Copies of this chain bind each other. A is one copy, B any other.
Amino acid sequence: MLTKKELTPCPVATTVDLIGNKWKLLILRDLLSGTKRFGELRKGVDGISQKVLTDNLRSLEEDGLITRTVYAEVPPRVEYELTELGGSLQPIMKMMEEWGNFYKESMKIEAGEC
């Protein structure tokens, strides 16, 4: 289980519990540009394995940050989308993107894109 809704009083800790892990922010980042299929996310999130992607998607769904829609087709199609709550993380991710570039500049590393 990846999700642990620790009832910590500290709001920063709450946020860290929800998205402070190696993969979730990268998944959410990809979903910012719109609905994505499982396979698209797998390609978009650098070196993530199938199992770990599945685990994290379930956890994000459980926490109310994304929705999962299964289409009864053959072959099956599953789409993931940010909820309103998940979308509200955009400003934070935008700042993290800016800060990441700022950090690289400070360290004399060339900036990049996703």
Interface residues in chain A, defined as those with a beta carbon under 8 Å from any beta carbon in chain B? 7-16, 18, 20-22, 25-26, 29, 46, 64, 85, 88-89, 91-93, 95-104, 106-107, 109, 111-114
Contacts and interface: CB of A to CB of B under 8 A. Distances in A.
Nearest to A23: B16
A20 B20 CA distance: 5
Nearest to A45: B13
Given A106-B64, A114-B9, A25 B14 contact: no
A20 B12 contact: no
Which of A10, A22, A26 counts the most B-chain CB atoms under 10 A from its CB? A10
B92 A96 contact: yes
A102 B114 contact: no
A100 B11 contact: yes
